[in-house]
Amino acid sequence: MKKIKIIGGGLAGPEAALTAARLGCDVGLYEMRPHRSTEAHQTSDFAELVCSNSLKSESENSAPWLLKQEMRRAGSPLLEEADATAVPAGHALAVDRELFSARVAARIAAEPRITVHREEVVELRENDPEIVTILASGPLTSPALTKELQRLTGADHLAFYDSISPIVDATTIDMDKVYFAARYDKGTADYINCPFTKEEYETFLDALTTAENVEAKDWEKFPVDGTANKLQYFEGCLPIEETARRGRDTLRFGPMKPVGLTDPKTGRWPYAVVQLRQENLRADSYNLVGFQNHLKYGEQARVLRLIPGLENAKFLRYGQIHRNTYIHAPSLLTETLQLKAHPNVMIAGQLSGVEGYTESIASGMLAGRYAAAIASGNAPTPAPRASANGSLTHYITHAETKKFTPANITFDLLPPLETELRKKMRDKKERHKLQCDRALAAWDEWLR
């Protein structure tokens, strides 16, 4: 049996390692931290959640729920730990970051088939017949390994920008000015809502759009159209100041949307709102949902304290925007996440073009299963197209080449219902339920 070498200790790497080990394979798990860190990580822990602490919706028959249900049925190790370390977050699955990482690390340490190597990998041995490699080094892959990947793929990697939201000390929030609520009362009222009047919103917007940005570092830039090195943000993860510059009401229809958040003091929706989500089980810190930004720390402190309830806030971490890299999967990967030109090398996680924590874990889970089949001398069978996992992989490997961008799981990626059926089922919730039922049936059959 071939050995499996997994590079990267974020989310996809540990998930792949634990999955392959459970299937009887010997695994070497390589992580360069703490010997070499990245521009975004703060620890050397496995499964560190760099950005938010949310694994998205748990609302039944939603696309994120479907993806997680498939993962649960397949016995995803990291999703089991996420469920075990969940913190109140309304209808979403959010975790205690530190406890989640600690439990993943303990699970890896307890697995005798996994050997951990704390060292930087700078060489991909694609021609070694005894090794199956899973590259899950993440969006901040080291320059040396990125260069090696470029050598292997023969193509330049692409880039976009991802985010880190600010975190505030819960004891410094003025609770007299805020209220707990979940949008449309879905789930439990676990979010702290900071309501704005029109005047407060206009003042905040003026301060935000005139605040001073952080000067871009060389590592954040990349060539645009073969000319100059520039910042180029990912449209799905814009900094709030960039969103605000696109129109006075843009934030009110985005991260500051007040819809469904009735203020108990007025009985109405506020003009705009900032939501705070619990960071850990101790509930001693909250992150500002959707408030990634590229402002200087001093400017963040000044602007964010204009948010009602945060006038005297202590920020435990400020927001950031950082560059993420990913390969051009449609031209490079098969549906079993293998490089077309080098089938003993696989790409998983955000490096493959999936976007989001849950999607990265799901990618690692599939890579672990596929690698275990290859290591045993068998041909891996792709996840079914009808499933959420299969649809996500189908997208990154079949997207239109010139328009490929990273993707979260959505119903748009799943196979559409038949035309006549769509006409009969006018209720979108009913259509989504049928798509979920079909996906889970196909997934269960594939697992069997």
Mean pLDDT of 346-362: 95
Asked whether residue 226 carries a pLDDT value surpassing 60, the answer given is: no
pLDDT value at position 118? 96
- Pick out the residues of the known binding site for FAD: 8-13
Mean pLDDT of 183-195: 89
Q: Up-side HSE of residue 140: CA atoms within 13 Å toward CB?
A: 20
- CB-CB neighbours of 228 under 10 Å: 8
For 110-154, how does the pLDDT look when each residue is reduced to its tens digit (9 = 90+)?
999 999 999 999 999 999 999 999 999 988 888 889 889 988 887
| Exposure b/e, 240-251, CB count within 10 A at least 16 = b | bbbbbeeeeebb
- Give percent of the chain with pLDDT exceeding 90: 70
Q: Which of 21-25, 145-149, 185-189 is the least confident region?
A: 185-189
pLDDT value at position 162? 65
- Pick out the residues of the known binding site: 8-13
For 192-223, how does the pLDDT look when each residue is reduced to its tens digit (9 = 90+)?
999 999 999 999 999 999 999 887 655 455 44
The domains located in the chain, with CATH, are: 3-157+327-447 (3.50.50.60), 164-323 (2.40.30.260)
pLDDT value at position 196? 98
Q: How far is CA 390 from CA 20, 70, 349, 413, in A?
A: 19, 10, 14, 9
Measured distance between the N- and C-terminal CA atoms of the chain, rounded to whole angstroms: 23
Q: Please say whether the beta carbons of 85 and 278 come within 8 A.
A: no
Pull the structure tokens for residue 162: 């991802």
Asked whether residue 71 carries a pLDDT value surpassing 90, the answer given is: yes
Mean pLDDT of 264-274: 96
Mean pLDDT of 241-245: 92
Asked whether residue 312 carries a pLDDT value surpassing 50, the answer given is: yes
pLDDT value at position 222? 46
Smallest CA-to-CA distance from 406 within 398, 394, 416, 396 is with 396
The pTM for the full model equals 0.76
Asked whether residue 161 carries a pLDDT value surpassing 80, the answer given is: no
DSSP 3-state of 123:
coil
Mean pLDDT of the chain: 90
Asked whether residue 157 carries a pLDDT value surpassing 70, the answer given is: no
**Residue 436's beta-bridge partner residues?**
none
239 falls in which pLDDT band (50, 70, 90)?
A: confident
For 410-431, how does the pLDDT look when each residue is reduced to its tens digit (9 = 90+)?
999 999 998 888 777 878 899 9
The percent of the chain in helix, strand and coil, each rounded to the nearest 5, is 35, 20, 45
31 falls in which pLDDT band (50, 70, 90)?
A: very high
Q: Kindly report the backbone phi and psi dihedral angles of residue 60, in degrees, each rounded to the nearest multiple of 5, phi listed first.
A: -60, 135
pLDDT value at position 225? 42
